[in-house]
Amino acid sequence: MKSKRKIRVITLGCSKNDVDTEHLLSCLPDSDFEFSGEESDEPVDTLLINTCGFIGDAKQESIDCILANAGRKKQGKVGKIAVFGCLSQRYVRELPSLIPEVDAWFGARRLNPVLRWLGVSGDADGSTSRRMKPQPYAYLKISEGCNRRCSYCAIPSIRGRHRSVPIETLVEEAAGLAAGGVKELLLIAQDSTWYGLDLYGERALGRLLDALSEVEGIGRLRIHYSHPDGFPVDVLGRMASNPKVCRYLDIPLQHISDKVLRAMHRHVSGAWTRSLVERLRREVPGVALRTTMIVGHPGEGEAEFAELLDFVKEARFERLGAFSYSEEEGTWGAAHLADSIPAGEKQRRLDALMDLQRSISRECNEARVGSTARVLVDALGDGLLVGRSEFESPEVDGEILVSSAGVADPGALVGTFIDVRITGADDYDLTAQLI
Ligand code: SF4
């Protein structure tokens, strides 16, 4: 009997890396491979590390992970190591000589070379995926790469030009995920608003939503990583009328000041941004908006930062995340803009923005007390059903904690939709009771 190869895959970085890993794993036959959990410490024959190379901290985390496992290899706990993903794509010339314990280095744009290194045929860029975590939601990567050139961002140089995945392939993948118990799909990309331009000559996010809405078993579709420039407004009608399309939009805006948006090469103005937010709220009543902002970008003086705070006060985003600008080598910004704002000042601005957002988030939550919601139960924790309505995205937003008092078998509700009444609110989470 040929013994199975014991393999472990460690996935770092964003949900797009999770999807890549799940596609890769789906091509490894159970007859030849035995899978060891990401957190496990048991010895393995083969270790794959899917890395992130986006910004400083993420790069450091990937390097630390590689070095730690290089050490485990010396202890005989790991046989062969292969590294792929954004860090090795970005530093493929430097890394091999720096960490010779790694047996093979691969990029981030194609997965099949990793399969071939494992001696496996198959196409990891197809529509199959092996779920790493049994959750009722899954990420659907609708495209890869980005054609924009935001001055602070290294992603286009890592992931290449925008490539949409055909609608038929995504529908097939969605059907496979639904068959595995998935109820909610999160549509992810570097820029989901560009979807279809390369394949169909037009923005086709709306068409994709229509097609995915037909997939049996999928009850929710959620859009992430949209861009304000060229936003396909035909999607708004679908959000407002198709019960499967969440009234939720993740749209990183990064800033509002014309001066800073120009320096970022975002190709939108503050006025355009405001009008788009107003249109979203007008055409999709009750929509929850998630955005991301960058503070401390070159060109952001006190006046520009004050303008950002005023905009956040006015727009009242239900969800907002923020980062301090960090100069990324190889970007236009690193070559042409002076990163002159002291780290302490960047941190002060970040704290001020997140303090403001915390109070807005609490007020938005408090306004929902007494209302009802349809909740997808993700898990059971401490006797509570942990779930989300269409207004909460997993892993980035708050949760709805539902008492399971009086429920004979609360575990059976995991992965199902339940109706609840919101009974309490805090900064990010809500409490509720079953109706
Ligand atoms: S849209 Fe801008 S920030 Fe987003 S991946 Fe593309 S270049 Fe980077």
Looking from the CA of residue 227, the nearest atom of ligand 1 is 1
Mutation choice for ligand 1 from 54, 151, 153, CB with most ligand atoms inside 8 A:
153
Q: How far is CA 302 from the centre of its chain?
A: 31
How far is residue 253's CA from residue 145's CA, in Å, rounded to a whole number?
Answer: 19
- CATH code, residues 5-117: 3.40.50.12160
Looking up tokens 């097609």 gives 211
Q: Which residues of the chain have pLDDT under 50?
A: none
How far is residue 99's CA from residue 67's CA, in Å, rounded to a whole number?
Answer: 8
- 326 is written with which tokens? 């960090």
Instruction: Write the pLDDT tens digit of every residue in 116-136.
Output: 999 999 888 777 778 878 899
Q: How far is CA 214 from CA 187, 192, 204, 349, 371, in A?
A: 15, 20, 16, 45, 29
Looking from the CA of residue 156, the nearest atom of ligand 1 is 7
Nearest CA to ligand 1 atom 2: 150
Burial class (CB in 10 A: 0-12, 13-18, 19+), 138: buried
- Are the beta carbons of 24 and 124 closer than 8 angstroms? yes
Mutation choice for ligand 1 from 90, 191, 225, CB with most ligand atoms inside 8 A:
191
- 357 is written with which tokens? 């957002």
227 CB within 6 A, ligand 1: yes
What one-character DSSP code corresponds to residue 115? H
How far does residue 422's CA lie from ligand 1's centre (Å)?
Answer: 37
- Are the beta carbons of 163 and 145 closer than 8 angstroms? yes
148 CB within 6 A, ligand 1: yes
Task: Name the CATH superfamily housing domain 372-434.
Answer: Nucleic acid-binding proteins (2.40.50.140)
* Beta strand spans in 115-268 (E): 137-141, 143-144, 163-164, 184-188, 220-223, 245-250
**Residues 81-120: b if buried by 16+ CB within 10 A, e if exposed:** bbbbbbbbbbbeeebeeebeebebbbbbbebbebbebbeb
Helices 234-241 and 270-283, axial angle in degrees (round to 10): 30
How far is residue 37's CA from residue 146's CA, in Å, rounded to a whole number?
Answer: 32
Nearest CA to ligand 1 atom 8: 153
How far is residue 84's CA from residue 46's CA, in Å, rounded to a whole number?
Answer: 14
150 CB within 6 A, ligand 1: yes
Instruction: Write the pLDDT tens digit of every residue in 74-89.
Output: 999 999 999 999 999 9
- 75 is written with which tokens? 């202890």
How far does residue 38's CA lie from ligand 1's centre (Å)?
Answer: 29
69 CB within 6 A, ligand 1: no
Cβ atoms < 10 Å from Cβ of 22: 23
Burial class (CB in 10 A: 0-12, 13-18, 19+), 242: middle
190 CB within 6 A, ligand 1: yes
- Are the beta carbons of 325 and 294 closer than 8 angstroms? yes
Give the residue extent of every domain in the chain: 5-117, 137-366, 372-434
If we measure between CA atoms, which residue out of 8, 21, 2 comes closest to residue 78?
A: 8
pLDDT for position 408: 93
pLDDT for position 346: 98
How far is residue 325's CA from residue 263's CA, in Å, rounded to a whole number?
Answer: 12
Evaluate the CA torsion angle 67, 69, 73, 76 in order and state its sign.
positive
pLDDT for position 1: 58
How far is residue 202's CA from residue 191's CA, in Å, rounded to a whole number?
Answer: 14
Class of domain 137-366: alpha beta
pLDDT for position 2: 66
Rg of the chain's alpha carbons, rounded to an integer?
Answer: 22
Looking from the CA of residue 149, the nearest atom of ligand 1 is 7
How far does residue 396's CA lie from ligand 1's centre (Å)?
Answer: 19
